[in-house]
Amino acid sequence: DTAVSQTPKYLVTQMGNDKSIKCEQNLGHDTMYWYKQDSKKFLKIMFSYNNKELIINETVPNRFSPKSPDKAHLNLHINSLELGDSAVYFCASRATATGVNEQFFGPGTRLTVL
């Protein structure tokens, strides 16, 4: 199946821990994103990578560090987790060079910090 996939689907952890979320797309897209959707359901962009290069870095605490080993993968590492980090994190990808600009989302990772 061509898609954007994320692991894990659920993540429950204690405050202060470090955790990672992985994302992969097999759509051949050149740009990948991390979005955060909070309890009020607002979808906010966090980071964007184009061909492994960071191109968007919104006002996000530096406890969040994205890493893109290749253009099909974009991982998110979070250090020293806080209660306010609880949210659903979505990975997405888009082919920016085609002009079509349609963006597709992964299934999401629900992070709960206790």
Partner 1 sequence: QKEVEQNSGPLSVPEGAIASLNCTYSDRVSQSFFWYRQYSGKSPELIMSIYSNGDKEDGRFTAQLNKASQYVSLLIRDSQPSDSATYLCAVLNRDDKIIFGKGTRLHILP
Q: Which of 27, 45, 60, 95 binds partner 1 (CB under 8 A)?
A: 45
Phi, psi of 65 (to 5 degrees): -130, 115
Q: Are 109 and 92 in contact (CB under 8 A)?
A: no
Q: Which of 18, 53, 82, 102 binds partner 1 (CB under 8 A)?
A: 102
Q: Are 86 and 64 in contact (CB under 8 A)?
A: no
Q: Cα(22)–Cα(67) distance, rounded to whole angstroms?
A: 10
Q: Is 66 in the site for partner 1 (CB under 8 A)?
A: no
CB of 41 to partner 1, least distance (A): 6
Q: Which of 64, 66, 106, 113 binds partner 1 (CB under 8 A)?
A: 106
CB of 107 to partner 1, least distance (A): 5
C-alpha distance from residue 28 to each of 31, 87, 103 (Å):
9, 28, 12
C-alpha distance from residue 33 to each of 12, 41, 62, 102, 113 (Å):
22, 17, 17, 13, 22
Q: Is 29 in the site for partner 1 (CB under 8 A)?
A: no
Q: Is 105 in the site for partner 1 (CB under 8 A)?
A: yes
Q: Which of 1, 14, 39, 40 binds partner 1 (CB under 8 A)?
A: 40
Q: Is 52 in the site for partner 1 (CB under 8 A)?
A: no
